[in-house]
Each structure stands twice: as structure tokens, then as C-alpha cells.
Structure 1
Amino acid sequence: MNYENIEFQFAEGIARITLNRPDKLNSFTAAMHGELAQALDTIESGGARVLVITGNGRGFCAGQDLSERRMSADSAPVDLGETVGKFYAPLVRRLRALPLPVVVGVNGVAAGAGANLALAGDIVIAKQSASFIQPFCRLGLLPDTGGTYALPRLVGQARAMGLSLLGDKLGADQAAQWGLIWESVPDDRFDARLEELARHFASAPTKGLAYTKRALNQSLDNTLDQQLDLERDLMRELGASEDYAEGVAAFLAKRAPAFKGK
């Protein structure tokens, strides 16, 4: 497939998606959603050990391109629920369900759906100059793309309310201090740090990481007893994996493990 709104690369176990509408701060269009879906189809077909998502230009993603939402005085209202159900919700579900780490590199402003796309990742790093904004309140809307789910779980109810009801800009350093993201990185170190994480996960025990991701995500809705049972069942499966056997053998032989992700 020819990609125009994103760049997609897949080599050495690393899948890379780069949002590529820099003149529009990589804001979402239907065409971009279609290309993202195609890229995820390829990733889900197997072989990837990690997915890295970032953006081109000075922004990560400014959310929905509102030029697709222009209405004339006599036009029917836009069905935003259809847009969320068709594009944004499936995107978040697919990212969270991927059986591999999703690393998001926020290279600039992440606003609206763009901010919440970033929060759908597993490891989120950002340039120190980057910022996160929930501007939905200025349009009479609410944080979609999983925003109302992720925000209170990451930063707590009070901060989630403040970010959502005020729409204030949150800098990367404060985002890291609050636990919204994993790490704020000096701008001149950002590319190297993103590559370091990609290479790390490309050689990691992918199946174990995938099960860890699954268990942590399910813990948000499980009771303690349910979670203990899930840990038992997943550990049983991982105990029969090639990577576990390799990890034990490498530990006993005092050498570096060579994980295959299986």
C-alpha cells in the first residue's frame, strides 16, 4: 500500500508508524485512519516485536482535522458518535490489544485525540518541549479516544477533571511527574532514546511482555482473586515458552539471553 498520511516501516522486528501531515500538525483525517488501520493489519499478521509511533514535524498530533467538520447553515449535524465508533475507538482497542509493546514518542504538541492516542501506548516518552492538551471543553465536547478512561487511571480524578474541564496545557516534565507518561527527554536526546527503546524491545522476551501488558490492563477491572487466578494461568503458559527456557539457560550459563519472542 502507498502511504501518504503516515510513514510505515517494518524491519528487524521493529514496526514504525510516523504520522505524516506535518503542515497540519499531523491531525487526523479519514484517510489517515484508513492508513493506520492498514499498517496495524500488517503488524497483527505477525513478526513484529515492538511498535514505535511518533510524528513528523513540530507536532505529534493535534487531534481531529476540523476542516473535515465544516458545516453550512443548512447542513445536518455531524454524527461524532459515528466517527468515534468507526475510527477512534477501534484504533485504541487495537493498540491496547497488540501482543507486543507499543512505544509512543511524543515529539511535539499532542492535543485532543492526539494526546489520547499517545496515552493508548504502553511506554510513552516525550520531548521536554512537548505538551499535552485536552481542548475538548473549548468545543463543547468530552475527551474521546479513551481519554475519559486513561486520564483518571493515570493521574487521578482531581487532575483528570482539571485537565478535562479547563483544557490547560501540560508540559512534558509535569506530565512525567504526574505519571501521565513514562519519561520526559531532553529534545536533543529524544531520537536516540526512542531508538534505544525500540532496539531494547526488539530483542526482549515478547510473549512475556505481551502477557504482562494483558495482565496489567485486565487488573483495572478485576478483583484481587480474579487477578491472582489470571497470573496463575498466564504463568503456566509462559513457563512452557521458548523464551523462559532460554532465560533460565542463559542465567545458569552466565551469558546474555537470545530471546525469540516465543
Structure 2
Amino acid sequence: MNYENITLTCDNGIARLTLNRPDKLNSFNEEMHAELRDALDGIQSGRIPARVLVLSGAGRAFCAGQDLADRAMQIKDGKLPDIGDIVERNYKQLIVRLQNLRVPTIAAVNGIAAGAGASVALACDLVIATQSASFLQAFSKIGLIPDTGGTWFLPQRVGMARAMGLALLADKLPAAKAAEWGLIWECVADAEFAARIDALAGQLASAPTKALVRTRQAMHAAPGHTLEQQLSFEGGFMRELGWSRDYAEGVQAFMEKRAPNFTGE
């Protein structure tokens, strides 16, 4: 598939997927969603030999959410668009793919992450933002609710009081405060951002991939389990990982007092 709204490269196990509509602040349209599904499916299938995915935005924004000028949002024959259908076809599919991806994910938030753009960032395993970046739940300003998993991610990350304030008041949240609140992993100086992303991507690309993904899955499953159920859930993953090549390599490297050479197997 020839991409016009995103770019995708993969080098040394690091896949870099960039939302590439800078003149529209990388807002989503139908074509971008189709390209994102194709790119993520390529990573999931192994056609793209990634060990980590870095998701970023071109230009001065990460993503401004849905492009309200997109053809899917237009009134046709006097009828308003079915936004629920758009959420089901596009945004649900995007979040599910990110959450189920076979490699760890990093959101590199270089500017404004608004609406669905903020939720897509929060769907990644690690969110790193520049000092000048910010997060915005703008839905209440146009009569909607936070979607793309926003009502799920926000209360889990920052608690109900802060989540409700962000959603109802639609105030910008600076990246530094987002890190302070625990919404994101880290806020770094703009000048240090690229180097920090490269370092984290390299670290995850050389890590035991299956263990990282199972960690994500176990943590997301925990709220729906009792402690006893979660202990059994962990046991199943530990059994699987205990038979993996990376576990054997990790133990051998520890015994030999050397750095492990993980392959993701």
C-alpha cells in the first residue's frame, strides 16, 4: 500500500510510524485510518520485522484528533453523519490494534495531542512528550464525549476527579503536569526529545519482546480480576515465558555475567 497520510520505516527492529498531515495538525481522515490499519497489520503479521513501534506526528503537532472537514463528517442529503459508525469502523479498530500489537509501543508526543489524538497516544505502552507539548480533551466544546478509549484511559491513569475535570472543562494539560499526574511516562526538554526517543526505542528493541507484551496484557487484565484470578493469569504467562529462548538466554547471560542477546523468541 502506498501511504500518503503516514510514513513508515523499520531499521534495526525499530518501526517508526509518523502521522503525516502536518498542514492539518495530523488530524485523522478516512484515508489515514486505512493506512494505519495496513501498517499495523504489517507489523502484527511480521511482514515488517519490528521489535518496537514509535508513533509520532510530523511538524508541530502529534495529532489534533478527527479532521472535522473530512468527507465522512459531512452532512449528506440533509442528514448528519453517523459518528458512532465512524468510531466503530476507525477508532475502535485503531485502538484494538495498538493494544494487541505483538511489540511494545512508544508514543512520541512532539506537540498538541487533542481529542482522539490524545487517546491514541495513551493507548501506547510508553508516552514521552516534549516540554512544549500538551494534551487536550476538546470533546465537550463540540457536544461530544471523549472517545477512542478516552473514558477508559483517563480515569485509570489520573483518577476520576482529574479525568472528569479534563473532560468537562476541556482545558489544555501541559506535558510537565501530565507527567506529574501520571498520565504519561516522561516529559523531556524539546532539544533532548529525539535522543531520548532513540534511546528508549533502542532499549525496547533489544529487550525480550514477548515478555514486554505479556506484561502489558497482564496489567490491562488486572482490573477485571480478583487477586487470586490475577495470580493464576500471571502463572499462565510465566509458564509460557519460562519455555522461551529469551528466558534461557537471560538466565545464561546472568550466570556468565554478560549482557543478554535477546531475539524476541
Tell me the TM-score range normalised by the shorter chain: over 0.9
Deviation at 1:200?
A: 0.7
- 8 Å CA contact 1:92–1:117 kept in 2: the answer is yes
Give the whole-Å Cα distance in 2 for the aligned partners of 1:142 and 1:101.
28
Pairs within 5 Å for 1:221-260: 221-260=224-263
1:49 is the counterpart of 2:67: no
Give the whole-Å Cα distance in 1 for the aligned partners of 2:116 and 2:94.
11
Supply the AA of the counterpart residue of 1:18. Answer: T
Equivalent pairs counted in the alignment come to 261
- 8 Å CA contact 1:247–1:257 kept in 2: the answer is yes
2:123 is matched with 120
Give the whole-Å Cα distance in 2 for the aligned partners of 1:36 and 1:140.
27
Any unmatched runs of 5+ in structure 1?
A: none
Deviation at 1:100?
A: 1.7
Match for 1:180 among 174, 178, 183?
Answer: 183
Supply the AA of the counterpart residue of 2:208. Answer: P
Match for 2:87 among 84, 88, 93?
Answer: 84
Deviation at 1:71?
A: 2.9
**SS in structure 1 opposite 2:224?**
coil
1:15 is matched with 15
1:135 is the counterpart of 2:142: no
Deviation at 1:99?
A: 2.2
- 8 Å CA contact 1:124–1:183 kept in 2: the answer is yes
Give the whole-Å Cα distance in 2 for the aligned partners of 1:40 and 1:85.
17
- 8 Å CA contact 2:129–2:188 kept in 1: the answer is yes
Pairs within 5 Å for 1:184-199: 184-199=187-202
Supply the AA of the counterpart residue of 1:129. Answer: S
CA RMSD, Structure 1 to Structure 2 (Å): 0.9
Give the share of equivalent positions with the same residue, in percent. 59
1:37 is matched with 37
1:98 is matched with 101
Deviation at 1:210?
A: 1.1
Deviation at 1:107?
A: 0.5
Deviation at 1:13?
A: 1.3
Give the whole-Å Cα distance in 1 for the aligned partners of 2:61 and 2:213.
29
Supply the AA of the counterpart residue of 1:65. Answer: D
Any unmatched runs of 5+ in structure 2?
A: none
Deviation track 1:15-70 (CA, whole Å, cap 9, x = no partner) reads 11000000000000000001001101110112321111000100000000011224
- 8 Å CA contact 2:130–2:189 kept in 1: the answer is yes
1:3 is matched with 3
Deviation at 1:226?
A: 1.0
Give the whole-Å Cα distance in 1 for the aligned partners of 2:51 and 2:64.
28
Match for 1:61 among 63, 71, 77?
Answer: 63
Where do 4+ consecutive residues of structure 1 move more than 6 Å? none
- 8 Å CA contact 2:74–2:80 kept in 1: the answer is no
Give the whole-Å Cα distance in 1 for the aligned partners of 2:13 and 2:253.
22
Deviates more, 1:170-179 or 1:231-240: 231-240
Deviation at 1:137?
A: 0.2
**SS in structure 2 opposite 1:121?**
coil
TM-score (norm 1): 0.98
TM-score (norm 2): 0.97
